[in-house]
Structure 1
């Protein structure tokens, strides 16, 4: 594996600046492409699994986090409140209080449940400067988050389905989980004092793990302040372990926000809140993908999917036409003309691009291109239309294949 901090800067995916501050990286154009492709993938997977997406603000009144319990149990990791119009507002440390408010904005029937609410939203945590690094540990976080409001009888199935969704995403992305951790409370006042709550939520998570056939290790002191969670652990280039994805069952916040639904008996019932994140923070996910793939991203994630290289200036117009046609097909294509160096130098510079299309005099006369694949294969001289169809098919499939069947 590679170190994403070095490779990410070499490939011009992200950067930092002291005037922006520690733990606040910016995304360069190629990195923004990877991020956008990853976000769209997650949204598509969630839509297919029955989630609906929302947007919520990154600020909230201090009172909101007092109700949720964050202020009492998590304020050391939050940025200080800001005075605004005589009120105190806070940069949110998580999305769940906002989703609880969205849920309670109208009444719900048991027939609507489970209600799956997802968001790719920003949140902020006051991380100590000593733990910050690259994209892995940051202060401004874009989180792939979701909250499922369901009945008690539905909670185990929803948690199990979340684990299965995470497993499918890891397979598509080429990510390997090193272990699943059942994170339990430890000693001290960090955790909500409700033993019955912890016991019930822990039992349901154990059922979900068993139903998904996932082995796990129970670890004390790693739970969220309001309940236990399943943490899906990954390892970086140096073997350091971190959490990427999570599944949680929460009885605490539905109680704090007085959430309810109308049951078949016509009376009010308390829903269960299942928290889940498929890829965790976009920043940490991209950092891991950089290291796993060494910058040679799968076709669908690659910042540039096709580079077109004329042998001489005489093929410039034909090469530019191929680029235009590729872009019209939805491919991310670029032109590497003779002004950028010899053909060999341009080929080497584009070594991480999945497809290289070389156009010489013979190819230009027949609307063809000599194709080189990133893995070293050379399918030979093919019709441009054939190349675009195959590359497009691989990109749409979101798999690891480079050369789709004709």
Structure 2
């Protein structure tokens, strides 16, 4: 594996500046393409799975986090409150209190549940400078977060569904899991004191993991302050583990915020809140993609998906037409003309690009193209429109294979 901090900068994906501050990277154009690809993918997946998307502010009153329990149990990782117009406001460390308020703003019937609410939103963590690094530990996180408000009978199925979405996303991104961890509470005052709640939530998550058939380790002291969670662990280039995706069961915050739904008996009932993040923070997901793939991203995420390579100046008009055909098909494409160097040199220059579309005299005469894949495979000459359609299908299917037979 590669070090994303070095390779990400070399590839022009992200960088930092001391005037912006440590742990606050900015995204360069190619990095923004990768980020947008992930964001579009996860929103589409969530819509298909029945999620509704919302937006919420990155600030909240201190009182909000006192109610949620963050101020008492998580304040060491939060930025200090700011005085604003006689009130104290805080950069949010989590999206769940906002989503609880959005749920509370309308009445709900049991017929609406499960209600799946998702947001790609900014969160802020007061990380110490000594632990900051690249995209994996940052102070502003864009989190693929969601909260499912459901009945007790629905919790296990909703958590299992979230775990299945995580597996599907990892296959699409071409990344591997180091291990699954059942994160349980440990000793000390870090956790909400509610033994029955912890026991009940832990049993549900064990059931979900057992049902899914994945091996897992139960580890104490790694839970969220309000409930246990399933952590999907990945490893970096030196074998250090970190959490990318999570599924959590929360009985605590629905109680704190007085959430309810109207049951079939006409009475008020308390929903359960399932927290889940499919790809985790966009920053950490991109860091892992860089390290896992060495910059050779799956075609659907590649900043540049195809290069058109005319062998000589005589093929340049055909190259311009093929470039336009690719562009109209929605591909990210560029021409590297003969003046840029020999064909071999241009192929080496674009070695991370999934598709090399080569045009010589024979291809130009026949309306064809010779396709060379990033992995070195050379495909027989074929009609240009067939090659473009095949590439487009691979990209749209978000397939990790370069060529679909």
Shared fold (TM-score greater than 0.5)?
Answer: yes
Conservation of the 8 A alpha-carbon contact between 1:229 and 1:246: yes
The residue correspondences of 1:296-307 to structure 2 (distance < 5 A) are: 296-307=296-307
1:291 aligns with 2:291: yes
Deviation at 1:216, TM superposition (A): 1.7
Conservation of the 8 A alpha-carbon contact between 2:166 and 2:279: yes
Deviation digits for residues 179-207 of structure 1, max 9, x if unmatched? Answer: 11111111211111111211111111112
Q: Which residue of 2 aligns with 1:221?
A: 221
Describe the shift of the 1:340–1:83 C-alpha distance in structure 2 as closer, same or farther (beyond 3 A).
farther
Which range moved further: 254-263 or 305-314? 305-314
Q: Which residue of 2 aligns with 1:34?
A: 34
Conservation of the 8 A alpha-carbon contact between 2:174 and 2:298: no
Q: TM-score, normalised by structure 1?
A: 0.97
Which range moved further: 238-247 or 366-375? 366-375
1:249 aligns with 2:249: yes
Q: Which residue of 1 aligns with 2:49?
A: 49
Deviation at 1:175, TM superposition (A): 1.9
- Partners of 1:230 and 1:400 lie apart in 2 by 26
Q: Which residue of 2 aligns with 1:63?
A: 63
Q: Which residue of 2 aligns with 1:258?
A: 258
Deviation digits for residues 313-355 of structure 1, max 9, x if unmatched? Answer: 3333321221111111111111212343333221111111111
Q: Which residue of 2 aligns with 1:401?
A: 401
- Partners of 2:83 and 2:340 lie apart in 1 by 53
- Partners of 2:85 and 2:342 lie apart in 1 by 62
Which range moved further: 99-108 or 393-402? 393-402
3-state SS of 1:353 partner: coil
Deviation at 1:3, TM superposition (A): 1.3
Deviation at 1:297, TM superposition (A): 1.0
Q: Which residue of 1 aligns with 2:310?
A: 310
Conservation of the 8 A alpha-carbon contact between 1:205 and 1:230: yes
- Partners of 1:87 and 1:360 lie apart in 2 by 70
Conservation of the 8 A alpha-carbon contact between 2:109 and 2:261: yes
Which range moved further: 177-186 or 145-154? 177-186
Which range moved further: 244-253 or 321-330? 321-330
The residue correspondences of 1:1-400 to structure 2 (distance < 5 A) are: 1-400=1-400
Q: TM-score, normalised by structure 2?
A: 0.97
- Partners of 1:397 and 1:128 lie apart in 2 by 41
- Partners of 1:46 and 1:101 lie apart in 2 by 21
3-state SS of 2:390 partner: helix
Alignment length (residue pairs): 405
- Partners of 2:351 and 2:35 lie apart in 1 by 21
Deviation at 1:176, TM superposition (A): 1.7
Deviation at 1:272, TM superposition (A): 0.2
3-state SS of 1:380 partner: coil
3-state SS of 2:382 partner: strand
Deviation at 1:385, TM superposition (A): 0.5
Conservation of the 8 A alpha-carbon contact between 1:372 and 1:380: no
- Partners of 1:322 and 1:54 lie apart in 2 by 40
- Partners of 1:100 and 1:41 lie apart in 2 by 25
Deviation at 1:140, TM superposition (A): 0.9
3-state SS of 2:206 partner: helix
- Partners of 1:234 and 1:292 lie apart in 2 by 10
- Partners of 1:271 and 1:213 lie apart in 2 by 27
Deviation at 1:295, TM superposition (A): 1.0
Conservation of the 8 A alpha-carbon contact between 1:34 and 1:303: yes
Conservation of the 8 A alpha-carbon contact between 1:248 and 1:274: yes
Describe the shift of the 1:194–1:351 C-alpha distance in structure 2 as closer, same or farther (beyond 3 A).
same
Conservation of the 8 A alpha-carbon contact between 1:191 and 1:226: yes
Deviation at 1:214, TM superposition (A): 2.5
